[in-house]
């Protein structure tokens, strides 16, 4: 079995795929921080993206760039392979509305009687019954010629329901961002960044561009799946991977079992132990005056180990100061991070990172040594007191 595991782990194609996936994940991080993701509640609202699209497309919008963004949008639509032809002259008097007759965004020139319907599904809202058909019929009832319908999604895995709409009406299924196909970020927002003259508008566009890129990366991380599918293309290979995953998932429990055996029944000055989870061991009830100290040892699924030192009898500033005083008293203040009174969980931490060790067994030896060391230091200091 050991040889089978080594062979699978050393598979050249698998290693290359994992390296590529790591690059995609790392690339995603640079887009995570933007003004919109500071509070993610707003981005989850159904009208969030419609509000922004209306703001940008509207020639009278507060962006102060006139119809620059609208014209760029129309030119973008005309480049798509869907027979979409929006004559900019037909929209020289265009009004861009939001929620007019419940249309997410509409571009209408009432002089030329031309209209474009923009349906926003970036947040994956469900399609209502005959939704696009009703919008189309509303335009027709107002004497408008529908030049086309834009159906905007995050990743192009959702498509416009076209039942009842004449086949002569172009329908654009556009994705917000992709690393391959035509998309809103690369083919409209990015050109708009270069066209705008106001710094605040430029900043707004760049922030929204980062948001859409970040949101779409969840689907982009799957771009290597065709190659994965080529490598893992049989029931036997899938079974091997599942068995390997089951073994990998069991490693934190195994490391915790080994650790508990190494510590054994000598864990003074703590007087009680508790296996909180398979990968989480507690040493509790070190009573000293009005303090009640506890030590958590957690073997994480990513290979790291976290050790927390608490005072469960106190809260706030009292807890923080008592923990820090004790850690300082035994000479561990340079080894463990100080406790902060206004943190969610008031404790002092020692973190063991995978990146610091060649192998997990090397780390585990140091974890055992550290825990034995701090227990002994606490015991000696306790006896002195």
pLDDT, tens only, 65-77: 999 999 999 999 9
**Domain count of the fold of the chain:** 2
**Which domain-ending residue is among 157, 188, 223?**
223
219 burial class (0-12, 13-18, 19+ CB within 10 angstroms)? middle
CA dihedral sign of residues 186, 183, 30, 220? negative
Candidates 257, 360, 263; CA nearest to 303 is 360
d(CA 130, CA 134) in angstroms, rounded, equals 6
pLDDT at position 371: 97
Whether 228 is covered by a domain: the verdict is no
| Co-location of 117 and 62 in the same domain | yes
| Co-location of 82 and 142 in the same domain | yes
pLDDT at position 82: 76
Question: How many CA atoms does the CB half-sphere of 218 hold within 13 Å?
Answer: 9
Mean pLDDT, range 121-150, rounded to an integer: 94
The token pair that represents 172 in the structure block: 């654009």
Do the beta carbons of residue 172 and residue 165 sit within 8 Å? no
Region of poorest pLDDT, from 129-143, 167-181, 206-220, 239-253 = 206-220
pLDDT at position 349: 96
d(CA 379, CA 359) in angstroms, rounded, equals 31
Do the beta carbons of residue 364 and residue 255 sit within 8 Å? yes
| Co-location of 130 and 273 in the same domain | no
| Co-location of 305 and 379 in the same domain | yes
Answer with the residue of higher pLDDT: 84 or 82: 84
Residue 309 three-state SS = strand
| Co-location of 157 and 298 in the same domain | no
Q: Quick check: 37 pLDDT over 80?
A: no
Whether 373 is covered by a domain: the verdict is yes
Do the beta carbons of residue 128 and residue 104 sit within 8 Å? no
Write the Ramachandran bin of 102: left for phi over 0, alpha for psi from -120 to 50, otherwise beta: left
| Co-location of 36 and 151 in the same domain | yes
Do the beta carbons of residue 368 and residue 261 sit within 8 Å? no
| Co-location of 298 and 360 in the same domain | yes
Whether 112 is covered by a domain: the verdict is yes
> Is the omega angle on the peptide bond into residue 269 within 30 degrees of 0, that is, cis?
yes
Do the beta carbons of residue 379 and residue 272 sit within 8 Å? no
Strands of the 305-311 sheet, one edge to the other: 272-277, 280-288, 291-299, 305-311, 348-352
| Co-location of 178 and 322 in the same domain | no
130 burial class (0-12, 13-18, 19+ CB within 10 angstroms)? middle
pLDDT at position 210: 87
Whether 136 is covered by a domain: the verdict is yes
Do the beta carbons of residue 151 and residue 172 sit within 8 Å? yes
Q: What whole-number percentage of the chain has pLDDT above 70? A: 84
Whether 241 is covered by a domain: the verdict is no
Cβ within 8 Å of residue 34, ≥6 positions away: 207, 210, 211, 214
**Which domain-ending residue is among 188, 223, 258?**
223
Strands of the 114-121 sheet, one edge to the other: 95-100, 103-109, 114-121, 145-153, 171-175
pLDDT digits (tens, 9 = 90+) for 163-205: 999 999 999 999 998 766 779 999 999 999 999 998 999 999 9
pLDDT at position 240: 74
| Co-location of 133 and 46 in the same domain | yes
Candidates 343, 362, 342; CA nearest to 353 is 362
Do the beta carbons of residue 135 and residue 101 sit within 8 Å? yes
Whether 240 is covered by a domain: the verdict is no
pLDDT at position 17: 56
| Co-location of 32 and 180 in the same domain | yes
Whether 194 is covered by a domain: the verdict is yes
The 3-class secondary structure across 115-156, one letter per residue, is EEEEEEECCCCCCCCCHHHHHHHHHHHCCCEEEEEEEEECCC
Pairing of strands 171-175, 272-277: unpaired
Q: Quick check: 39 pLDDT over 50?
A: no
| Co-location of 164 and 281 in the same domain | no
Confidence of residue 233 (pLDDT cuts 50, 70, 90): confident
User: How many CB atoms are located within 10 Å of the residue 172 CB?
Assistant: 19
Q: Quick check: 266 pLDDT over 70?
A: yes
d(CA 310, CA 349) in angstroms, rounded, equals 9
Q: Quick check: 133 pLDDT over 80?
A: yes
Whether 135 is covered by a domain: the verdict is yes
104 burial class (0-12, 13-18, 19+ CB within 10 angstroms)? buried
72 burial class (0-12, 13-18, 19+ CB within 10 angstroms)? buried
| Co-location of 38 and 96 in the same domain | yes
Confidence of residue 2 (pLDDT cuts 50, 70, 90): very low
Annotate 35-62 with b (16+ C-beta within 10 A) or e (fewer): ebbeeeeebeeeebbbbbbbbbbbbebe
Query: Which domain, by its residues, includes 203?
Result: 27-223
CATH of the domain at 289: 3.90.1150
Mean pLDDT, range 305-323, rounded to an integer: 95
């Amino acid at each position: 079995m050991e040889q089978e595991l080594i062979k699978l782990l050393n598979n050249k194609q698998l290693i290359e795929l994992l390296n590529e996936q790591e690059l995609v994940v790392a690339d995603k991080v640079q887009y995570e921080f933007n003004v919109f993701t500071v509070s993610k509640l707003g981005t989850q609202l159904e009208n969030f993206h419609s509000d922004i699209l209306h703001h940008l497309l509207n020639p009278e919008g507060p962006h102060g760039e006139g119809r620059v963004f609208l014209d760029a949008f129309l030119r973008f639509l005309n480049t798509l392979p869907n027979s979409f032809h929006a004559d900019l002259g037909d929209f020289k008097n265009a009004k861009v509305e939001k929620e007019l007759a419940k249309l997410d965004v509409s571009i209408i020139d009432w002089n030329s009687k031309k209209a474009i319907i923009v349906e926003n599904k970036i947040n994956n809202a469900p399609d209502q019954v005959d939704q696009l058909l009703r919008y189309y019929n509303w335009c027709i009832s107002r004497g408008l010629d529908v030049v086309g319908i834009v159906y905007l999604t995050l990743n192009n895995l959702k498509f416009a329901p076209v039942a009842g709409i004449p086949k002569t009406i172009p329908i654009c299924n556009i994705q917000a961002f992709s690393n391959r196909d035509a998309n809103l970020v690369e083919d409209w927002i990015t050109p708009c960044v270069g066209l705008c003259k106001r710094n605040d508008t430029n900043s707004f566009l760049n922030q929204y561009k980062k948001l859409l890129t970040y949101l779409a990366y969840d689907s982009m991380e799957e771009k290597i799946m065709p190659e994965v599918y080529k490598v893992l293309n049989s029931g036997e290979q899938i079974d091997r991977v599942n068995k390997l995953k089951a073994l990998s998932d069991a490693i934190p429990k195994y490391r915790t079992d080994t650790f508990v055996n190494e510590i054994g029944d000598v864990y003074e000055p703590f007087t009680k132990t508790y296996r909180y989870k398979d990968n989480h061991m507690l040493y509790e009830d070190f009573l000293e005056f009005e303090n009640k100290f506890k030590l958590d040892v957690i073997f994480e699924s990513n290979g790291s180990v976290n050790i927390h030192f608490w005072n469960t009898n106190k809260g706030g500033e009292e807890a923080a100061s008592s923990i820090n005083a004790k850690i300082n008293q035994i000479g561990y203040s340079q080894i463990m991070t100080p406790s902060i009174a206004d943190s969610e969980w008031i404790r002092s931490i020692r973190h063991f990172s995978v990146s610091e060790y060649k192998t997990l067994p090397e780390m585990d030896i140091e974890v055992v040594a550290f825990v034995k060391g701090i227990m002994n230091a606490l015991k000696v200091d306790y006896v002195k007191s």
